[in-house]
A and B are shown apart, each in its own frame.
Chain A
Amino acid sequence: MSHPSAVGLTNGTEPLPDFPQLRQCPYQPPPGYRELRENQGPVVRARLYDGRPTWVVLGHAQARELLIDPRLSSDWSRPDFPSPSPRRKAIQKATILVGMDPPEHSAYRRRLISAFSVRRTRELSVSIQRRADELVEAMLEKGPPADILGGLALPLSSHTICRILGVPYEDHDYFEEQSALLVSPQVTEDDATQALMNLRTYLTTLVDRKEKEAEPGDGLLDTLVSEDLADGSLSRDDVIRLGIILLMAGHETTASMITLSTFTLLQNPAQLAVFRADPGKAALAVEELLRYLSIGDVAMRIAAADITVGDVTIREGDSVMLSTSEINRDPAAFEDADVLDLERGARHHLGFGYGVHQCIGQNLARAEMESALTTLFTRIPGLRLAVPAEQVEIKPAQSGVQGIYELPVAW
């Protein structure tokens, strides 16, 4: 419960804007956030779905300051840890790593980072590129129309996370289905819990199987099983929960980024021309798309002590939500922030978060986006939307990861 105070949040029922709010365009932050930042400042008050008041951070400098502040906790096991939706609440109960503070968090994260380093990503980029080639080739063979999400983005990101974890790719349909349940719009807390239980069962069986293998494979799960589980430094439950979070986080987000990026580029012909003109600048372009689209919009925290940021004092126990999408459009941090400028080179966006929880899979995501987008636009020069842009259906804000359901294209 938040502590009633003159400066911090009260528990009262005074009218406050909702958080999160709906996006009205798949690649623009909810318009209400802009209004709030302009009228009330970079850190404002709002109300969550369950009626609880929260702070909402909309400014870039303030977000950087707060996300690195150890007094702002990510510990999901705190009974009063806030949530932006019932579905997120269910996930919060079942996962590991994201919802922890140092030093516990650091100990887990350290076991994983070598599998996600820049060097390891470079090694994997060959197989990512090969898969992207195959998928685009298959699209061409089959002929238009095609769906970018189902035909390229999802299979590419599933393939990649399977490679990293050492999950048999034959099983990708199953966990894609379960993950889809977690991000589908009207999902109830019960459905989300059920999907998580299914993923847990799947991973339990997989871990059992890996334990019996004579020679461990080269996946991260193989290493965790043959080293950390074997020497007792991780429990079975730890390994399973790490598998769940990586599997979930690893494919939905990247798939969404690839699909939305394709849509955004098709809607911005001048920028698409820039992209096509110099594939060597794809890395720069990807960085701008990450800033512009900010799909993993909401970061949640709870204040473990009083924290003053600017002229606002956040009290111990207060909920703090950060809107990455609006933060990445802060004019104080990015000139002409609403303009998509593939050559901008603004790497200080918070699209992957900031602080100790910054996305562990970020370099993989970059590699996948680069391969998918360059392959798509070089191999299919005449690529265009197969339906009017207004008909592309946006996932609601509550789904957690910003995205669209499908992206029909033709050429």
Chain B
Amino acid sequence: MSAVRIVADTGRCIGAGQCVLTAADLFDQDENGIVELLTDGVVSGDDVARVREAEHLCPAAALTVAPDTDGTTGPPGQQGA
């Protein structure tokens, strides 16, 4: 599976923690309760499904998952429309 990039909008985050409950190895909440990425934002393999679930569950639409358009990972030609 090609890699994706997660972007967390800390301005929109309402601290519900759904992301942490979904993938505690990829997301955390900082001391103010706001989402924090534990990776550089690029994930691949099985983690893709989990970040998509977190995106779906986030009640504030604070997470966006998009194809990794930097081309740092993943095959060319599969990058998002």
Q: Using CB atoms and an 8 Å cutoff, list the residues of chain A in contact with chain B.
A: 67-68, 106, 109-110, 113-121, 347-348, 352-356, 358-360, 362-363
Q: Is B15 an interface residue (CB 8 A)?
A: yes
Contact indicator B33/A106 (Cβ below 8 Å): no
Residue of A nearest to B24 (CB): A118
- Can you give 17 contacting A-B residue pairs, CB < 8 Å? A67-B59, A68-B60, A109-B14, A110-B32, A110-B33, A113-B15, A113-B32, A117-B15, A117-B33, A118-B24, A352-B16, A356-B14, A356-B59, A358-B16, A358-B59, A359-B16, A363-B17
| Interface size in chain B (residues, C-beta < 8 A) | 21
Q: Is B79 an interface residue (CB 8 A)?
A: no
Q: Is B26 an interface residue (CB 8 A)?
A: no
Q: Using CB atoms and an 8 Å cutoff, list the residues of chain B in contact with chain A.
A: 14-18, 20-22, 24, 28-29, 31-34, 53, 56-57, 59-61
Residue of B nearest to A353 (CB): B59
Contact indicator A362/B16 (Cβ below 8 Å): yes
Known A118-B20, A118-B29, A119-B29; contact A113-B14, beta-carbon cutoff 8 A: yes
A363 to B57, CA, bound (A): 14
List the 7 closest pairs (A to B, CB-CB), nearest first.
A113-B15, A113-B33, A358-B59, A114-B33, A118-B17, A117-B29, A117-B33
Contact indicator B59/A354 (Cβ below 8 Å): yes
Distance between B14 CB and nearest chain A CB, rounded to angstroms: 5
A116 to B20, CA, bound (A): 13
Contact indicator A116/B57 (Cβ below 8 Å): no
Distance between A47 CB and nearest chain B CB, rounded to angstroms: 30
Distance between B81 CB and nearest chain A CB, rounded to angstroms: 22
A265 to B66, CA, bound (A): 41
B21 neighbours in A (Cβ, 8 Å): 118, 347, 363
Residue of B nearest to A103 (CB): B11
Distance between A250 CB and nearest chain B CB, rounded to angstroms: 16
A118 to B31, CA, bound (A): 11
Known A118-B21, A348-B56, A353-B59; contact A358-B29, beta-carbon cutoff 8 A: no
Residue of A nearest to B53 (CB): A347
A156 to B34, CA, bound (A): 28
Q: Which of A121, A352, A356 has the most CB of B within 10 A?
A: A356
Distance between A341 CB and nearest chain B CB, rounded to angstroms: 18
A354 to B59, CA, bound (A): 5
A331 to B33, CA, bound (A): 34
Known A106-B14, A109-B14, A356-B14; contact A114-B59, beta-carbon cutoff 8 A: no
B59 neighbours in A (Cβ, 8 Å): 67-68, 352-356, 358
A29 to B30, CA, bound (A): 38
Distance between A60 CB and nearest chain B CB, rounded to angstroms: 12
Name A114's contact: one of B14, B15, B57 (CB within 8 Å).
B15
Distance between B76 CB and nearest chain A CB, rounded to angstroms: 33
Name A356's contact: one of B33, B57, B60 (CB within 8 Å).
B60
Known A118-B20, A348-B57; contact A360-B29, beta-carbon cutoff 8 A: no
Contact indicator B17/A117 (Cβ below 8 Å): yes
A113 to B66, CA, bound (A): 27
Contact indicator B61/A114 (Cβ below 8 Å): no
Distance between A106 CB and nearest chain B CB, rounded to angstroms: 7
B57 neighbours in A (Cβ, 8 Å): 347-348
Distance between B8 CB and nearest chain A CB, rounded to angstroms: 15
Distance between A54 CB and nearest chain B CB, rounded to angstroms: 23
A119 neighbours in B (Cβ, 8 Å): 20, 28-29
Contact indicator A355/B15 (Cβ below 8 Å): no
A358 neighbours in B (Cβ, 8 Å): 14, 16, 59-60
Contact indicator A360/B16 (Cβ below 8 Å): yes
